[in-house]
Structure formats: structure tokens, C-alpha cells
Amino acid sequence: MNDGVNGVALAVFIFFFLAVTVMGFMAARWRAAENANNLDEWGLGGRSFGTWVTWFLLGGDLYTAYTFVAVPAAVYAAGAAGFFAVPYTILVYPLIFTFLPRLWSVSHKHGYVTTSDFVRGRFGSKGLSLAVAVTGILATMPYIALQLVGIQAVLDVMGVGGGEDTNWFIKDLPLLIAFGVLAAYTYSSGLRAPALIAFVKDTLIYIVIVVAIIYIPIKLGGFDDIFAKAGDAFSQTNEATGKPRGALTPPEASQWAYATLALGSALALFMYPHSITATLSSRSREVIRRNTTILPLYSLMLGLLALLGFMAIAAGVKVDNGQLAIPQLFEDMFPDWFAGVAFAAIGIGALVPAAIMSIAAANLFTRNIYKDFLKPDATPEQETKVSKLVSLLVKVGALAFVLTMDKTVAINFQLLGGIWILQTFPALVGGLFTRWFHRWALLAGWAVGMVYGTVAAYGVASPTQKHFGGSQKEIPGIGEIGYIGLTAFVLNVAVTVALTVVLRALKAPDGIDETSPEDYRADAGDPGVRAERPVEAAGAAVKAPGGH
């Protein structure tokens, strides 16, 4: 790792950071409504985004700075096992094509802002709604923290903040400044800020990936040499485990782990509150359907991104923390000015999802805890004020998490968050297609999945820690190593189905379903659907609601 500050790279990084900061504050006037004091406007951007804005917003939301750093870092550390992210993002799009348009329609019809709003309306259960909300908040917090870890990795490689002996305040000051700016424009502009910044973020990422996948192999002698050197490195014995470091292809013994992790991750991805927030911000059902067909372009980018892990090995990158491998690769291989562009792509790639995640978590608290249990008569203005304040508190919590805990702890809590959020799948997706599941059975299944997943993850050790050392464990009854989240999900569904049969037989009371079958196919402009204000795209004439 280079000593000192890379002044050129830092200057380029600061330029882009200042540019998106200005955009973040200007976003408050982009498609501004006469009355912005409601969650539809602040938390969902007025539900007015078209196909391309939604595509960039969802891409900026799902493909984060941590993705940019962690996916190739996993390949750098263990080889092909790190590629699990590619098949799971391929699996997820046909899956969401089946249910996201239905969720958009019913949410648009009834003014739902969160998944918990839908669950409460569908099953008539505030308890089940609360469970989904709390799970969403808990799963999102460490995810936000990891975005800050991504920024910190870039700052470390650029030499910003001093060494390990530097005063903690000076060392973390750049991160504190980035956090303060993020908090300010999120509070001011709401979802419009990350939506606008996502254009810059994704453009930079695509440029960096295309250049890296062409330029770096040329400097390293081609892909034949890259894979040969990576294969040699993975064949070396890991002193901590006594086993080979990794493999270019998954060995037979790890195929269950690979497959279950990919499937479980695909099922969980759009259970996260920030994914749904970006989805509900679109202006029509057709926008969602189009996006499920063009979002796989990001999967292509992710596959190319993962190859950077092999390139880091071939380039001789040596780091104690694997999360620094790709930033260090950019530092070593690119000219200083383009390294700055790459670092800016990662840094801005943290700001966009962190903003959306904090808004999503704040909306869950406001609608499904504050309004449902603390102040049922809250006005739209009060809801917006509370959500803005909670979005700040969420980011403060994430910052404290990063500054006070070891980064490995943050990563493990994010893995645990993935296990947790998957347990909301039966209530959300099941509820979109059937009301056969009983609300009490869904709550019991959720509780079983949460308890099993947490206890099982607690019992996983790694060479560096005794508990929460990973997310894979032996599957009961099968004997193969698999993803804990998927095992917990299967238990969740089994308990839900079994209890539903019992409760139906006992004629246990259902809650009131405020939805109707036609609500799940409604589109903007249909009779009885909530009216939208006209929206105006940049440089275009005003369009009627639902126009394309």
C-alpha cells in the first residue's frame, strides 16, 4: 500500500463529491410539489419516477459501494465462491416480475408507503405489521453501516485520515464530513436526492468497470495469465484453516452452500425496505415491469466486477483487510486521475443506497410504529417531520456502529440481517397472492424463523471469532452445509402452513382485509386509484399521470 496521500486522486474524488452534494440539495426543487409535507413526496419522490429514473434508482439502491468492494473481495479471498452474487441477481428478476407489479398496484390504490402498511391492510394485523417493520429496521441498520465502511476503505487507500496512531477524531473526520453532508441533503430533499445522484453514480461505475475489464488485463498479460496466477494462489494452504485458500471453480463439497446462498439471497433481496421504497416511487405498474426486464444489465456489470478479485491476485495486491483489495488494485494499476474517478464511483455508490436505506427505515418507524402505536391521529405533516428526524437518527446509529465496532462485526450483522429479512417473505409475497395464510400462523412462522436463524448464526465460528462467524451451517436432516437463512425460511413456511391448517379448522378469527382482488391489477389513472399530480421530466412537457 502506498504511503502518504494521493493528492491527484483525492482532488478528483473531492470534485465529484462536491458535485453530487450540490445535486443532492438541488434535488429538493426537482419535480417539487406544492405541498412536500407528506411521505408520498419526501419518502417516495411523489410516486412520480418513470422508467429510466426508476432504473437508475433501483440500480443505485441494490448495487452499492459494499457490492463494489465486497463481491470482488470475496473472489480475492476464496475464489469462485464469491461469484454467488451473479446467479442470485439473475434469479431475482423473474421472481420480482411476478409480485412487484401487484405490490405497486395495491400500494398505489391504498396509499401504502411501506411493506408493513400492506401487511397490516391485507391481514388486519398490527402485530404482524410491527414484526415486519422491526425486522426491516434491524436488517437495514448494518447495511447502512457497510456503506460507510465502503467509503472508509476508499479513504484509507487514498491515505486520508492518517495512520493507526492518529487521533481518532482526525482519522475519522473525512467520514464524519461525508456523513454530515449525506444527512443534510437527505433531510432536505428526501428520495429525490438519491434518485438524482444515482445517474452520476451508475455512470461512473459503468465507466470504471468497462475501463478496468479492458485496461487491467492488458497490463497484466491477459486473462490466461490472470487465471493461472489466481489458480496458483488458491492452491496454497491457508495457515488459519489448514485447507487450500480457495478454488477457481466451486468444489463438490461446497455446491449446496453455493446454491442455497444464491437462492436465499435472491428471495431476500426485494424484502429489504429500501428495495421496496425505490419500487413504490415509480409512477406506473408498467414502469416496474419494464425495470424487471432491463435491470439484468446490472448483473452483467456484477459479473465483470467479480473478475477484479482475480485481477487483484494477479497484480500482487497484498492487504490485511480484504475489503481494501479492489481500491488498492485501482490505486496500483490506474493513473492517479482515473484512480480518483474509480474512488469517486465507490464513494458515491455508498451515498445513494445509504440515503435510500435511511429513508426506508424512517418510513417504517413513522408509519408502522409511531402512527400505528404512538400517535394514531398523526397528520401527514407530523409523519414527514418524524420520518426526517428518524432518518437522521438511523444514520447516526450506523455511523456509531462503524466508528466503535470492528468492521468484521458490521459484516456479520449484515449477514444476520439477510437471514432476518428473508423471514418476512411469507407475509409479504404470500399475501400478494393469497389470503389463505392465517395472520397468527404467519406471526408464529416469522418468530420460529427469526429464532432459529439467529441461534444458528450465533453458533457459527470462524478463525477470527467465536460467534456469528458466517451464515452457513449444516442443514438439519440433509447433512449438507447450506445457507442458514434458507433453512430458517423453510422452517418458517412449514410452521405457517401447519398452523394455518389448525387455525382454519378451529375457525380462528381473521383480521379485516381492506384490499380487493382488482386492487392488485390497478394502474395509475384507473378509476378509484389515488390521483397523482402531473409530473414533468427534465426538458420535457408536462405529462398526465401514468404517461410514458
pLDDT tens-digit readout, 379-423: 999 999 999 999 999 988 888 877 777 666 667 778 889 999 999
Per DSSP, the residues of 407-439 read HHHHHHHHHHHHHHHHTTHHHHHHHHH-S-S-H
pLDDT at 425: 98
pLDDT tens track for 282-321: 999 999 999 999 988 888 888 999 999 999 999 999 987 7
- CA 442, CA 461: separation in Å to the nearest integer? 31
* pLDDT number for residue 528: 62
| Contact criterion met (CB below 8 Å) for 88 and 265 | yes
- Tell how strand 535-536 and strand 481-483 pair up: unpaired
d(CA 287, CA 285): 5
Query: Closest by alpha carbon to 294, among 53, 545, 35, 541?
Result: 53
Residue 146 · residue 411 · CB < 8 Å:
yes
Residue type, 267: L
DSSP H stretches of helix in 2-125: 7-26, 39-42, 51-62, 65-78, 85-110, 115-123
Q: Is there a contact between 361 and 140 (Cβ–Cβ < 8 Å)?
A: yes
Instruction: Look at residue 536 in the predicted model and tell me its pLDDT.
Output: 34
Model pLDDT, residue 530: 59
- Residue 180: CB atoms within 10 Å: 11
Give the CA distances from residue 513 to residues 115, 121, 526, in Å, rounded to whole numbers and listed in that order: 15, 6, 21
Q: Which of 373, 282, 365 is nearest to 116 (CA)?
A: 365
Closest CA to 422 of 243, 241, 271: 271
Low-confidence ranges of the chain (pLDDT < 70): 1-3, 34, 161-171, 239-242, 406-410, 525-548
pLDDT of residue 165: 55
Question: Are the C-beta atoms of residues 107 and 524 closer than 8 Å to each other?
Answer: no
Over residues 92-110, the pLDDT tens digits come to 999 999 999 999 999 999 9
Which residue type sits at 477? G
**Cβ atoms 504, 263 nearer than 8 A:** no
pLDDT at position 527 is 63
